[in-house]
Structure formats: C-alpha cells, structure tokens
Amino acid sequence: MFSRRTDWKLTPNRFSQVQQELIASGRELLDLTISNPTRAGIPYDAESILGSLQNLAALDYDPQPKGLLSARQGVAAYYREQHGVVDIDPEALLLTTSTSEAYSSVFRLLCNPDDQILVPAPSYPLFEFLAILHDVKLASYPLIYDHGWQIDFPSLYGAVNHRMRAVLVVHPNNPTGSFVRPDEIGLLNRFCREHNLALIADEVFLDYPHDGKPRQTFACNRDVLTFTLSGLSKISGLPQMKVAWVGTSGPKNQVGDALARLEVIADTYLSMNAPIQLATPVLLEQRKTFQPRLLDHLRINLEELNRQLTRQTACSLLQLEGGWHAVVRVPVTHLDEDLAVNLLQNSSVVVHPGTFYDFPADGYLVVSLITPTANFREGINRVLNYVAPRQIRAVT
C-alpha cells in the first residue's frame, strides 16, 4: 500500500529507546543534545516578536510565489548589513517555511529520480531523509581532520559520476563546526564548473564564528550556479516562526532559468503565510540582540568544556570554528552508540554518538553548546568522570 521511499524502520534506535525508557521511569536526564534555541535559557524580546505578528495587512491575501517582496527585501537587507553583499537582488530570493523545504525545492529543481548529490561526511543526519523523500541518492565526500577539518578533494573528484547533479556544503558544518575556507571555495567552484554541477550551501550557522571573524557567504558566489540556504531558525533563534529561504546566484542565464522554475515549484504550494512574512523584517532584526547573547552562551560553554578537558588527557576537543556543536574525541573502548547508551544508563547524561553524524570511525561524542550552562557544566563533568575516571581522580 505504501511507497518504498517510506519503508523506514519506524522503531526507535537503541539509544532513543533507552532514553525514552529512562524518562518514563522518572529518571532525570541531563540533556547535552538540545538543538532548540527557545529552550536554551536565552532571553527574547517578547514584546517586539509578538507585536510583529499583529499587522492589519495580514487580512489581505497577496499570493506571491517567491514570498512577499517586503519579506525578501528584509532578507536582502540582512545580507547587505551583516555580510556586506551589496548587490543582492530580492528577486533572486525565494522564501520557504524551513531550510528543509528549501532543500526540497532545490532537489526538485535539479534532480531526476536516482540522480545524485554529494554531501559531506560527517554532517547533518537529515540529508538522508530529504534525499529519500525526493528520490535522490546521496554520495558522500569525506571531511578529513588534519590540523582542522578540510574537504578531501581527491575523494570528491573520485565520487563524481554521470548522475551527479550538485555538491552540498554546510558552512559551517554541523557538527564539526568547520567553515569552508576561501581556497576551498575556489576549488569547489572549479570542481563544479568541470563537472557541470550546482553548488548548494547550507549557511544556517554562518553567523556563529567562535573567533568573531565574519566568514564569506556563498550568496555572493557567482562562478557557478549556487543555492544558498538559511533562515530565522538559527539567525534569530526563532525556529517556531518557520521562515527560511534559498538565494540563487551564479552565471546570469542559469540564474534566470533556475528562478523561473523555482517560482513554479513555489507557486504550486504557496506555503508561506501572510502574518509571518509581514513580520520577517522585524524578526530578522531580532538577531542583533539574540546573536550576541547566544555567542556569549556558546563561548561560556566552550570555555567550560576546555577547562574540564584540561583535567585529563584521554579526551580532547576537536578544533571547531563555528556553530552550535562540539565534537569530543574519546578513547575507542566501546562502539560510540554503546558508550552513549552507557552514559545514559550510568550517568543520566544525553550525548550523541558520532555515528549519528556519519563519523568515519568510533571515538567521537557530539554535544550541543546551546545547552543551559549549569546543565552543560554538570553534564560534561559526568561524561569525563565516566570516560576518564582514573585520570580525573588522579588530578583532582
């Protein structure tokens, strides 16, 4: 009765199962995997956020497939003010309800069934589902860790075949926190030109560099057909508002053709609602107070993580440049999933095993830096006491 693409194994994996059982039994778990900024203890400006939703213009229905011009102008202003992209054209922006929906439109635009997209590994686990739902196949290219993370270009070249349609980058990547470096952008453009591929750049975490130095957005990449995805979910910490977008840039004729087709895809759904589009410029402005607060919060947790790691030598922090996650290298005494399950059962702490993000081997745990700071401090303490107990006792 159902399509093969929905043939998922719907039972929870062992990690989720154990977590659910412990919660059901009344155990209090310290969750170091939270991804929801509205539960991170960051104050929001309730008055202006809620006030922005009260607009008489929302009584009018003005279906614009790419989204209301005023909202797209707000997004263009964000790129101009925050990233210095002076010539961003609101007509090259298309609003969506989430980055996932933005991926959906781009995959639909580029791929026939069984065409392929190159994605980084390790990276964001949702790509697998997005690909299956659009009958697209993923091929992965490794990021290698050698004095920081870098794209393994020989593997990228080795993975190309005639079904390949695009290469996807996450800038900075989740969970490795690595930005695509300027020299890598040049090499990616050359690679895409040589193989007639589009570039898809997920920049949801772009505004969170840990060294305070802004990184270049792909929204101004004109060398090859480029789709830049981002949204309010991370920029202003407002995932519940459901506003994201795709910016299209590149050679003029390709951009024109892509936009005409994307507009038809968007017109088929018209998924954006009026109140939220009218509020978008105000909600984008929220970043100006939200981002400094969250960056501070990330810095405090990162300092705490480093402080606790200096108490032992068994575990270390992998170099990270930006984003909301940190990867801790741990001794490979267990499979990562077993270790994460043991941490749940023995230490009542929730961390993600690296395998959830397609790390190439065991020995990696992923934690969220947006975790409330007191929980983060205690949670990391429990992780290290479990993973490196003798060392910690020897030092303290």
- For ligand PLP (CB under 6 A), the number of binding residues is 13
Nearest distance from C-beta of residue 250 to ligand PLP, angstroms: 21
Q: Which stretch, 55-63, 95-103, 128-136, 146-154, contacts ligand PLP (CB under 6 A)? A: 95-103
Distance CA 268, CA 270 (A): 6
* Site membership for ligand PLP, residue 203 (CB under 6 A): no
| Interface stretch with ligand PLP, choices 77-85, 104-112, 231-239, 274-282 (CB under 6 A) | 231-239
Return the closest-CA partner of residue 245 out of 214, 219, 216, 225: 219
Q: 154 to each of 11, 35, 144, 149, 160, how far by Cα in Å?
A: 38, 33, 11, 15, 10
Task: Give min distance, CB of 26 to ligand PLP, in A.
Answer: 29
Instruction: Indicate the residue among 244 and 341 with the shorter CB distance to ligand PLP.
Output: 244
Does position 170 interact with ligand PLP (CB under 6 A)? The reply is yes
According to the binding rule CB under 6 A, does residue 321 interact with ligand PLP?
Answer: no
Q: Per CB under 6 A, which of residues 11..30 are in contact with ligand PLP? A: none
Q: 79-96 in b/e burial notation, b at 16+ Cβ within 10 A?
A: beebbebeebebebbbbb
Query: Taking the complex as a whole, how short is the minimal distance between the CB of residue 194 and ligand PLP, in angstroms?
Result: 26
Tell me which amino acid residue 136 is. V
Instruction: For residue 99, state whether it binds ligand PLP (rule: CB under 6 A).
Output: yes
Q: Judge contact between 65 and 199, C-beta under 8 A.
A: no
Q: Binding of ligand PLP at residue 385 (CB under 6 A)?
A: no
Single out the residue of 55, 98, 254, 342 in contact with ligand PLP (rule: CB under 6 A): 98
Pick the binder of ligand PLP from 31, 202, 321, 362 (CB under 6 A). Answer: 202
| Helices assigned H by DSSP within the chain | 14-24, 46-51, 69-83, 99-110, 126-133, 153-159, 182-195, 232-235, 252-269, 274-285, 287-309, 336-347, 373-387, 389-395
Decide whether 239 or 379 has the Cβ nearer to ligand PLP: 239
**What are the angstrom distances between the C-alpha of 40 and each of 34, 43, 104, 186, 202?**
8, 9, 29, 37, 23
Of 202 and 207, CB closest to ligand PLP: 202
Nearest in space to 249 (alpha carbons), one of 293, 216, 297: 216
Least distance in angstroms from the C-beta of 255 to ligand PLP: 23
Q: Nearer Cβ to ligand PLP, position 142 or 175?
A: 175
Spell out the SS3 assignment of 172-205.
CCCCCCCCCCHHHHHHHHHHHHHHCCEEEEECCC
Distance CA(208)–CA(210), nearest Å, equals 6
In the chain, how many H helices and how many E strands?
14, 14
Given the complex with ligand PLP, which of 100 and 342 has the nearer CB atom? 100
By beta-carbon proximity to ligand PLP, the closer residue of 130 and 185 is 130
87/85 Cα distance (integer angstroms): 6
Binding-site member from 18, 29, 33, 35 for ligand PLP (CB under 6 A): 35
Rg of the chain on CA atoms, in Å:
22
Backbone angles phi, psi at 338, to 5 degrees: -65, -40
Q: Specify the residue, 240 or 346, whose C-beta has the smaller distance to ligand PLP.
A: 240
Q: Which stretch binds ligand PLP (CB under 6 A): 98-106, 247-255, 303-311, 369-377?
A: 98-106
**Which is closer to ligand PLP, CB of 124 or CB of 290?**
124
Among residue numbers 109 through 168, which ones bind ligand PLP (CB under 6 A)? 124
Please state, in angstroms and rounded to a whole number, the distance separating the CA atoms of residues 358 and 123: 7
Nearer to ligand PLP, 122 or 347 (CB): 122
Give the shortest CB-338-to-ligand PLP separation in angstroms.
Answer: 25
Among 231, 237, 353, 379, binds ligand PLP (CB under 6 A): 231
Q: C-alpha distances in angstroms, 288 versus 44, 75, 232?
A: 11, 14, 12
Q: Which residues ranging from 232 to 261 are in contact with ligand PLP (CB under 6 A)? A: 233, 239, 244
Residue 383, classed as helix, strand or coil, is: helix
Residues that bind ligand PLP (CB under 6 A): 35, 98-100, 124, 170, 174, 202, 204, 231, 233, 239, 244
